[in-house]
Amino acid sequence: MSDLPPDLPRLRTLEKWLAMSLDRVRQQIAAEEQRVAELAARQSLPPPPDWELQTDLSGRPMQVHTDGCRMGGKGFRMKPLTREGALRAVGVDQVPTCPYCRPDVALGVLD
């Protein structure tokens, strides 16, 4: 014995309901896939810089640090530096280096 209705009109109604339900499930799947993709895009941030420039409140350079040094400032006072920028700050601009994290050693430039 079948659990489906025996007549054609009710079978067509059931078919229509199942098709609508399948469409809703597919829309929900698409929305969830988009949410997961957006979340993954937000989490793939660029790597942190290897060096940072600590500035005073007026924006003048104070010290060069390696990334992650806790002796430097926070937020707007720390500016990311490329290797070339750090070499220029230490060598050309004569910005002092942090005595704790020793970015001059990591750069290959010793005092």
Count helices and strands in the chain by DSSP H and E runs: 3, 3
What's the average model confidence in pLDDT over 6-31?
96
Q: What is the pLDDT of residues 72-107, one digit of tens each?
A: 767 778 899 999 999 999 988 999 999 999 998 888
Element (DSSP H or E) covering residue 96: none
Please give the full DSSP string across 13-42, using - where no structure is assigned: HHHHHHHHHHHHHHHHHHHHHHHHHHHHHH
Please say if the pLDDT value at position 110 is more than 80: no
